[in-house]
């Protein structure tokens, strides 16, 4: 897998807002069919990094490369046009809009011509429902349902399915599991794996180490705007990752538990009830 | 809920079942306001007697409804998009006086006065939209500011130009006929214009793809911008629409009454917002419908005028409207919750 060129790569990217340096010398790469986990505590610069990747911010210096070629995003829609999709914590969707409408927001399917183009509700609903069901969320069968009536995991799934439908090659998931319960989080992790299987490059931002370990191929730990560690799955022991993230004696115990759990549960993330403790976040 | 069938057999996506039709209807944003309208219609039909139900009685509330309705529609769109517009209260008299001064005081052609008045409405709307998109000040504050600005300028300039706070205008037969006449001697032609506005804005909100942008804007402005919706242009456009509609009502008022007063139109501010809220539009944006706003406007106008047909003290009308507003918000919340929770009881997991 190492010989494949990265879909998205950052080279020595710096970002500062006026006198405040937020990102220092960030170099990252993510390939097709690979999940890159960005770990970092609150305030580590994760959101600025995401916004830089998504075209909201321009790097102060350094390069962004797609498929090996340097690119400059003129704005979020430019980045989206090149296949970079961001899914935010709450799915980035509109709770009081129907599934079909929110799925196609901004790019509504129309029928008719000229100034008499009308929103094609039936087609929007059909496509949206099919896209979500293809990801294994079979509970969704009516595109007229309001998004706000879905569970947190279903909303995330809808947002990911939407991104994939619109041709995303790089999926940036901003804390997708942070606000979710145990079952819902494992839903989302399953969908992340599904997206990976379909050949997407996934950047998975989280501060929940367990969730990262369940799906990640490659890890980067962000501390105060700089990459404190960058390694592939297996290159560092779990103790080292967690020490980097939180550093603490209790983590070792927790790790032992998780290790046992993962081995007996075919790599599924452990339930938080097992793990709930001072280090859950 | 009455749809156990769908949970066992998975229907083809998008196919409707007639058994669901009633439940579907109850989840629409206008359901609450429809029930409210039927309730007040029955109430005043019974207590207002035959004169309320006569043509003249109907005309009395339909005339009121048409003027508020033309303003309530774009206010409703703005509210769905998460904004408010208070300045309509000042644009109505400003437009009336512009038309009266241009065509009455200076004696220029009627079409010029009408164009100037409508242009003024668009300009105030543009200014509102520009200020809302360029600053982070809430639109409530901005439009209160532009309302006072417009009011002050209207008063100052009118006194300076015409020497009084009222200007008269005798329109030619044609503009009078299409904007300020009575059909059958009692129904204002404004009612037909209201129907035109309803059809046009129904198209905009529910049929054209732009409607989806308006909902998205009110649902989550940040996400709406991120998906590539031209949020600033859309916001400015919606404010211009409400400025235009207020100016339109101002013009038709001057055509009907043949004179314009500086202090007219204040009542429209709260009345239009009330019609919109009674009509099921969520004050914080993202939810509502044109049909709901129409029901809300009719409900408001029936109470507003119907009270005169009963033996009740007319002041009771205000109390009823106040109570109605609270009940409307409560029922609309209930219906919205129904819409959100629907089918979460199925219990199946993916």
pLDDT value of position B265: 80
pLDDT value of position B101: 94
Angle, alpha carbons B337-A90-A130 (nearest 5°): 80
Query: Rounded to whole angstroms, how far apart are CA atoms B87 and B149?
Result: 9
> Do residue B212 and residue A119 have CB atoms under 8 angstroms apart?
yes
Count how many pairs of residues, chain A against chain B, have C-beta atoms within 8 Å: 113
pLDDT value of position B289: 93
**Nearest CB to A108; choose among B24, B212, B282:** B212
Query: Rounded to whole angstroms, how far apart are CA atoms B176 and B258?
Result: 9
pLDDT value of position A269: 61
**What residues of B are in contact with residue A119 (Cβ under 8 Å)?**
207-209, 211-212
pLDDT value of position A92: 60
In a domain, B7, yes or no: no
Mean of the per-residue pLDDT values of chain B: 86
pLDDT value of position B342: 65
In a domain, B5, yes or no: no
- The neighbour count for residue A31, using CB atoms within 10 Å, is 19
| Candidates B1, B14, B29, partner chain A, best to mutate (most A CBs within 10 A) | B14
pLDDT value of position B298: 95
| Candidates B7, B12, B219, partner chain A, best to mutate (most A CBs within 10 A) | B219
> Do residue A187 and residue B229 have CB atoms under 8 angstroms apart?
no
Query: Would you say residue B343 has pLDDT above 80?
Result: no
The stretch B117-145 carries a mean pLDDT of 96
Query: Would you say residue A275 has pLDDT above 60?
Result: no
Nearest chain A residue (CA) to B8: A139
**Nearest CB to B13; choose among A77, A125, A146:** A125
**What residues of A are in contact with residue B346 (Cβ under 8 Å)?**
139
Nearest chain A residue (CA) to B227: A106
> Do residue B342 and residue A97 have CB atoms under 8 angstroms apart?
no
In a domain, B311, yes or no: yes
> Sheet of A8-17: strands edge to edge?
A20-30, A8-17, A61-66, A69-71
Which residues lie below 8 Å from residue A34, measured CB to CB, with a gap of 6+?
A1, A196, A201, A202, A217, A218
Query: Would you say residue B344 has pLDDT above 50?
Result: no
Q: How close is the nearest chain B Cα to the Cα of A184, in Å? A: 11
pLDDT value of position B30: 81
**Nearest CB to A94; choose among B13, B208, B219:** B219
> Do residue B340 and residue A95 have CB atoms under 8 angstroms apart?
yes
Strand, helix or coil for residue A263: helix
Q: State percent of chain A over pLDDT 90.
A: 7
- Using the CB atoms, write b or e for A208-245: b if 16+ within 10 Å: bbbbbbbbbbbbbbbbebebebbeeeeebebeebbbbb
Question: If you ran DSSP here, which 8-state letter would residue A10 be given?
Answer: E
Residue pLDDT, tens place only, A111-162:
887 777 888 888 899 999 988 888 877 788 888 888 888 888 888 888 888 8
pLDDT value of position A271: 61
CA nearest to B244, candidates B124, B151, B149, B129: B124
**What residues of B are in contact with residue A97 (Cβ under 8 Å)?**
212, 215-216, 219, 286
Alpha carbon dihedral B125, B128, B131, B137, in 10-degree steps, equals -160
pLDDT value of position B177: 87
- The neighbour count for residue A147, using CB atoms within 10 Å, is 23
Nearest chain B residue (CA) to A151: B344
What's the pTM?
A: 0.79
Highest mean pLDDT, choosing among A1-10, B14-23, B238-247, B309-318: B238-247
Residue pLDDT, tens place only, B140-161:
999 999 999 999 999 999 999 9
Residue pLDDT, tens place only, A13-51:
999 888 888 888 989 889 999 999 988 877 778 888 988
**What residues of A are in contact with residue B208 (Cβ under 8 Å)?**
117-119
| Candidates A96, A107, A129, partner chain B, best to mutate (most B CBs within 10 A) | A96
Query: Rounded to whole angstroms, how far apart are CA atoms A141 and B137?
Result: 41
DSSP H helix total and E strand total for chain A: 10, 12
Residue with tokens 């005081």: B105
- The neighbour count for residue B157, using CB atoms within 10 Å, is 15
**Nearest CB to A119; choose among B14, B209, B341:** B209
pLDDT value of position A56: 85
Interface of chain B toward chain A, CB-CB under 8 angstroms: 6, 10-11, 13-14, 24, 207-209, 211-213, 215-216, 219-220, 223-229, 282, 286-287, 336, 339-344, 346, 348-350
pLDDT value of position B348: 38
The values of phi and psi at residue A26, to 5°, are: -90, 125
Which residues constitute the domain of residue B256?
28-333
CATH number at residue B173: 1.10.3470
Which string of DSSP letters, residue by residue, matches B53-76? HSHHHHHHHHHHHHHHHHHHHHHH
Q: How many Å is the maximal CA-CA distance in chain A?
A: 66
Question: If you ran DSSP here, which 8-state letter would residue A192 be given?
Answer: H
In a domain, B338, yes or no: no
In a domain, B341, yes or no: no
**What residues of A are in contact with residue B336 (Cβ under 8 Å)?**
96
Residue pLDDT, tens place only, A176-210:
887 777 888 888 888 888 888 888 999 998 878 88
Mean of the per-residue pLDDT values of chain A: 81
pLDDT value of position A134: 83
Nearest chain A residue (CA) to B80: A96
Interface of chain A toward chain B, CB-CB under 8 angstroms: 54, 56, 76-77, 80, 86, 88, 92-97, 101-102, 104-108, 110, 117-119, 122, 125-126, 129-130, 133, 136-139, 141-146, 148-149, 187
* Structure-block tokens of residue B82: 């998460």
The stretch B72-81 carries a mean pLDDT of 97
Alpha helices in chain B (DSSP H): 5-8, 21-26, 31-47, 49-53, 55-80, 88-99, 110-134, 139-162, 173-179, 190-202, 209-219, 221-226, 231-257, 266-278, 290-306, 315-341
Name the band, by pLDDT with cuts 50, 70 and 90, for residue A266.
low
So what's the ipTM on this one? 0.74
Which CATH architecture group holds A8-96+167-248? Answer: 3-Layer(aba) Sandwich (3.40)
Residue pLDDT, tens place only, B2-42:
333 333 333 444 444 444 566 666 667 788 888 889 988 89
- Residue pair A206/A215 in contact by the 8 Å Cβ criterion: no
Distances (CA, A) of B174 to B179, B183, B187, B190, B192: 9, 14, 17, 15, 16
Question: If you ran DSSP here, which 8-state letter would residue B106 be given?
Answer: S
Strand, helix or coil for residue A261: helix
| Candidates A106, A108, A114, partner chain B, best to mutate (most B CBs within 10 A) | A106
Question: If you ran DSSP here, which 8-state letter would residue A146 be given?
Answer: B
Name the band, by pLDDT with cuts 50, 70 and 90, for residue B220.
confident
The values of phi and psi at residue A198, to 5°, are: -80, 5
Q: Average the pLDDT over each of A36-50, A160-174, B118-132 and give the range with the smallest value.
A: A36-50
What are the sequence ranges of the domains in chain A?
8-96+167-248, 97-145
State the total domains in chain B. 1
* Structure-block tokens of residue B319: 């109390």
Which residues lie below 8 Å from residue B24, measured CB to CB, with a gap of 6+?
A144, B16
Name the band, by pLDDT with cuts 50, 70 and 90, for residue B117.
very high
Q: How close is the nearest chain B Cα to the Cα of A226, in Å? A: 26
In a domain, B348, yes or no: no
Name the band, by pLDDT with cuts 50, 70 and 90, for residue B341.
confident
Query: Rounded to whole angstroms, how far apart are CA atoms A265 and B145?
Result: 63
- Residue pair B211/A121 in contact by the 8 Å Cβ criterion: no
In a domain, B3, yes or no: no
In a domain, B9, yes or no: no
> Do residue A94 and residue B216 have CB atoms under 8 angstroms apart?
yes
The values of phi and psi at residue A173, to 5°, are: -110, 115
> Do residue A139 and residue B349 have CB atoms under 8 angstroms apart?
yes
Angle, alpha carbons B210-B212-B214 (nearest 5°): 75
Residue pLDDT, tens place only, B292-329:
999 999 999 999 888 888 888 888 888 888 888 888 88
């Amino acid at each position: 897998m190492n010989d494949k060129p990265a879909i998205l790569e950052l080279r020595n990217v710096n970002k500062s807002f006026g006198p405040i340096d937020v990102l220092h010398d960030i170099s990252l790469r993510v390939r097709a069919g690979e999940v890159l986990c960005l770990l970092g505590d609150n305030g580590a610069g994760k959101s600025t990094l995401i916004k830089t990747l998504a075209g909201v911010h321009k790097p102060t210096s350094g390069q962004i490369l797609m498929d090996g070629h340097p690119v400059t995003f003129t704005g979020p829609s430019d980045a989206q046009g090149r296949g970079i999709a961001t899914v935010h914590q709450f799915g980035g969707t509109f709770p009081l809009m129907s599934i079909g409408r929110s799925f196609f927001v901004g790019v509504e399917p129309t029928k008719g011509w000229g100034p008499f183009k009308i929103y094609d509700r039936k087609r929007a609903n059909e496509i949206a429902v099919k896209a979500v069901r293809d990801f294994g969320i079979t509970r969704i069968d009516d595109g007229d349902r309001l998004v706000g009536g879905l569970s947190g995991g279903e909303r995330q799934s809808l947002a990911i399915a939407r991104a994939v439908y619109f041709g995303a090659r790089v999926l940036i998931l901003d804390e997708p599991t942070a606000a979710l319960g145990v079952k819902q989080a494992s839903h989302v992790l399953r969908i992340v794996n599904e997206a990976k299987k379909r050949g997407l490059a996934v950047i998975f931002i989280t501060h929940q180490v367990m969730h990262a370990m369940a799906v990640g191929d490659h890890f980067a730990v962000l501390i105060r705007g700089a990459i404190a560690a960058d390694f592939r799955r297996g290159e560092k022991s779990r103790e080292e990752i967690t020490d980097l993230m939180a550093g603490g004696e209790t983590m070792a115990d927790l790790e032992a538990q998780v290790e046992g759990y993962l081995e007996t549960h075919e790599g599924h993330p452990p339930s938080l009830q097992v793990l709930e403790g001072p280090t859950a976040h | 809920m009455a749809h156990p069938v769908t949970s066992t057999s998975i229907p083809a996506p998008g196919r409707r079942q007639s058994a669901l039709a009633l439940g579907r209807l109850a989840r629409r944003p206008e359901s609450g306001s429809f029930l409210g309208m039927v309730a007040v219609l029955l109430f005043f039909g019974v207590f207002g007697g035959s004169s309320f139900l006569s043509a003249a009685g109907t005309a009395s509330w339909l005339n009121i409804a048409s003027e508020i309705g033309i303003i309530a529609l774009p206010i409703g769109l703005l509210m769905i998009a998460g904004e408010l517009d208070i300045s309509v209260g000042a644009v109505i008299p400003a437009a009336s006086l512009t038309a009266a001064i241009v065509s009455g005081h200076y004696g220029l052609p009627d079409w010029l006065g009408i164009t100037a008045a409508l242009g003024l409405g668009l300009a105030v709307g543009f200014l509102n939209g520009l200020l809302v998109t360029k600053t982070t000040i809430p639109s409530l504050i901005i439009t209160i500011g532009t309302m006072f600005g417009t009011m002050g300028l209207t008063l100052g300039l009118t006194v300076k130009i015409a020497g009084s706070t009222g200007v008269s205008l005798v329109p030619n037969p044609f503009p009078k006929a299409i904007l300020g006449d009575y059909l059958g001697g009692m129904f204002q032609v404004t009612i037909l214009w209201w129907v035109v506005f309803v059809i046009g804005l129904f198209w905009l909100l529910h049929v054209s793809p732009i409607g989806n942008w308006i909902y998205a804007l009110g649902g989550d402005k940040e996400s709406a911008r991120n998906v590539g919706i031209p949020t600033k242009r859309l916001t400015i456009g919606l404010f211009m629409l409400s400025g235009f509609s207020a100016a339109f009502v101002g013009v038709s008022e001057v055509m009907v009454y043949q004179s314009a007063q500086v202090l007219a139109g204040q009542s429209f501010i709260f009345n239009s917002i009330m019609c919109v809220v009674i009509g099921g539009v969520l004050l914080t944006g993202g939810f509502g419908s044109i049909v709901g706003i129409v029901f809300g406007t009719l409900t408001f106008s029936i109470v507003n005028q119907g009270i005169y047909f009963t033996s009740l003290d007319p002041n009771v009308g205000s109390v009823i409207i106040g109570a109605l507003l609270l009940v409307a918000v409560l029922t609309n919340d209930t219906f919205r919750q129904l819409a959100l929770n629907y089918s979460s009881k199925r219990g199946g997991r993916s």
